[in-house]
Amino acid sequence: MNDLGMTLLVLLGGSILGILFFGGLWFTVKKALVSNRPALWFLGSLIVRVGLTLLGFYYMGRGDWKNMVFCLLGFIIARFAVLRITKTMEAKELQLKNQN
Protein backbone atom coordinates (compact mmCIF):
# COMPACT_ATOMS: atom_id res chain seq x y z
CA MET A 1 0.00 0.00 0.00
CA ASN A 2 1.30 3.45 -0.81
CA ASP A 3 2.15 6.06 1.81
CA LEU A 4 -0.99 8.14 1.31
CA GLY A 5 -3.24 5.10 1.67
CA MET A 6 -1.46 3.98 4.82
CA THR A 7 -1.58 7.49 6.26
CA LEU A 8 -5.32 7.74 5.67
CA LEU A 9 -5.85 4.29 7.14
CA VAL A 10 -3.89 5.19 10.28
CA LEU A 11 -5.78 8.50 10.56
CA LEU A 12 -9.07 6.61 10.31
CA GLY A 13 -7.88 4.07 12.88
CA GLY A 14 -6.95 6.86 15.28
CA SER A 15 -10.38 8.40 14.78
CA ILE A 16 -12.05 5.10 15.58
CA LEU A 17 -9.93 4.74 18.70
CA GLY A 18 -10.89 8.26 19.74
CA ILE A 19 -14.58 7.59 19.19
CA LEU A 20 -14.34 4.42 21.27
CA PHE A 21 -12.37 6.15 24.02
CA PHE A 22 -14.35 9.37 24.37
CA GLY A 23 -17.70 7.82 23.48
CA GLY A 24 -17.03 5.16 26.08
CA LEU A 25 -16.19 7.83 28.62
CA TRP A 26 -19.46 9.64 27.92
CA PHE A 27 -21.39 6.37 28.17
CA THR A 28 -19.64 5.52 31.45
CA VAL A 29 -20.49 8.86 33.03
CA LYS A 30 -24.14 8.53 31.99
CA LYS A 31 -24.38 5.01 33.45
CA ALA A 32 -22.34 5.69 36.58
CA LEU A 33 -24.52 8.63 37.60
CA VAL A 34 -27.54 6.36 38.10
CA SER A 35 -25.65 3.26 39.26
CA ASN A 36 -25.40 1.89 42.78
CA ARG A 37 -21.69 1.21 42.19
CA PRO A 38 -20.25 4.04 40.14
CA ALA A 39 -16.67 3.23 41.11
CA LEU A 40 -16.92 -0.11 39.31
CA TRP A 41 -18.20 1.62 36.20
CA PHE A 42 -15.37 4.12 36.21
CA LEU A 43 -12.62 1.62 37.01
CA GLY A 44 -13.80 -1.01 34.55
CA SER A 45 -14.30 1.56 31.82
CA LEU A 46 -10.88 3.07 32.43
CA ILE A 47 -9.15 -0.28 32.12
CA VAL A 48 -11.01 -1.25 28.94
CA ARG A 49 -10.73 2.16 27.25
CA VAL A 50 -7.03 2.67 28.00
CA GLY A 51 -6.21 -0.94 27.13
CA LEU A 52 -7.93 -0.75 23.74
CA THR A 53 -6.38 2.63 23.00
CA LEU A 54 -2.85 1.51 23.86
CA LEU A 55 -3.20 -1.67 21.84
CA GLY A 56 -4.57 0.29 18.90
CA PHE A 57 -1.77 2.85 19.00
CA TYR A 58 0.81 0.08 19.31
CA TYR A 59 -0.63 -1.84 16.38
CA MET A 60 -1.09 1.19 14.11
CA GLY A 61 2.20 2.84 15.04
CA ARG A 62 4.29 -0.10 13.84
CA GLY A 63 7.46 1.58 15.04
CA ASP A 64 7.07 4.60 12.78
CA TRP A 65 6.72 7.98 14.43
CA LYS A 66 4.74 9.35 11.47
CA ASN A 67 2.08 6.70 11.92
CA MET A 68 1.90 7.55 15.61
CA VAL A 69 1.46 11.24 14.84
CA PHE A 70 -1.35 10.60 12.35
CA CYS A 71 -3.02 8.16 14.73
CA LEU A 72 -2.86 10.80 17.47
CA LEU A 73 -4.25 13.40 15.07
CA GLY A 74 -7.22 11.15 14.30
CA PHE A 75 -7.68 10.54 18.02
CA ILE A 76 -7.78 14.28 18.75
CA ILE A 77 -10.15 14.97 15.85
CA ALA A 78 -12.48 12.29 17.22
CA ARG A 79 -12.40 13.97 20.62
CA PHE A 80 -13.84 17.15 19.17
CA ALA A 81 -16.38 15.20 17.11
CA VAL A 82 -17.62 13.24 20.13
CA LEU A 83 -17.74 16.43 22.20
CA ARG A 84 -19.89 18.16 19.60
CA ILE A 85 -22.20 15.17 19.15
CA THR A 86 -22.72 14.63 22.86
CA LYS A 87 -23.39 18.32 23.49
CA THR A 88 -26.04 18.25 20.78
CA MET A 89 -27.61 15.13 22.27
CA GLU A 90 -27.63 16.66 25.75
CA ALA A 91 -29.24 19.85 24.43
CA LYS A 92 -31.98 17.84 22.72
CA GLU A 93 -32.62 15.85 25.91
CA LEU A 94 -32.91 19.06 27.92
CA GLN A 95 -35.36 20.53 25.41
CA LEU A 96 -37.52 17.42 25.62
CA LYS A 97 -37.50 17.54 29.43
CA ASN A 98 -38.41 21.23 29.47
CA GLN A 99 -41.32 20.68 27.08
CA ASN A 100 -42.89 18.06 29.35
Distance between CA atoms of residues 96 and 100, nearest Å: 7
Sorted by sequence, the CB contacts under 8 Å of residue 15 that are 6+ apart come out as: 74, 75, 77, 78, 81
Domain ranges of the chain: 3-99
pLDDT in tens, 74-93: 999 999 999 999 988 888 88
What DSSP assignment string belongs to 67-78?
Answer: HHHHHHHHHHHH
Considering the entire predicted model, what is its pTM?
Answer: 0.88
Is residue 18 classed exposed, middle or buried when 0-12, 13-18 and 19+ CB atoms within 10 A define those classes?
A: buried
Q: What is the pLDDT of residues 57-80, one digit of tens each?
A: 999 988 889 999 999 999 999 999
Please determine, for residue 97, whether its predicted confidence score (pLDDT) is greater than 90. Answer: no
